[in-house]
Amino acid sequence: MTCKATIVDLPDIQLMVSRAEEFPGGIKGAWDTLESRLASLKGRKFYGLTLCEGPQLAYFAGVVPVSDEEVSSLGLPTMIIKGGKYARAKLFDWSDHTDEIGKVFDELMREFRMDPNGHSVEYYRSQSELHLLIPLATPSA
């Protein structure tokens, strides 16, 4: 694997989300919609989620709400990133390498068995560091 993968434990994470109208062409629109609803982007934790819906992929731009009141007042849909073990790869200077995101996810999925009921997760750690994660399938008993 070109990116070094590590195994991490994530807790359940609630997000307010905006769904892309199409994938991948609608990703920017989903982010624009989400960010336009927030009073400030500073200090927020942002995520991108991709999941299979039948034969197509669906993408959601997400942010961790600061409070239950924010969830109520903004009226955005919510989703949960299910906690558990994830394979994680880091992509640095990601804004200059967005074309690498899909390739890194492909590598993670070749190296690890992904939970078929989970989401591929992008965690925007900072302006320069992106964490790409896939949930690991639980071993069969």
**The token pair that represents 7 in the structure block:** 């195994």
Q: State the DSSP string of 41-65.
A: -TT--EEEEEEEETTEEEEEEEE--
pLDDT band at 54 (very low <50, low <70, confident <90, very high): confident
* 23-42 confidence digits (pLDDT tens): 999 999 999 999 999 999 99
CATH of the domain at 28: 3.20.80.10
Domain that holds residue 57: 5-135
Question: Could you tell me if residue 140 is inside a domain?
Answer: no
Question: Could you tell me if residue 50 is inside a domain?
Answer: yes
Spatial neighbors of 55 by CB under 8 A, at least 6 apart, are: none
Count structural domains, the chain: 1
Q: Over pLDDT 90: what percentage of the chain?
A: 91
Question: Could you tell me if residue 94 is inside a domain?
Answer: yes
Residue in 20, 7, 39 with CA at minimum distance from that of residue 77: 20
pLDDT band at 123 (very low <50, low <70, confident <90, very high): very high
Question: Could you tell me if residue 141 is inside a domain?
Answer: no
116 φ/ψ angles, rounded to the nearest 5 degrees: -65, -15
Q: State the DSSP string of 89-102.
A: EEEETGGG-GGGHH
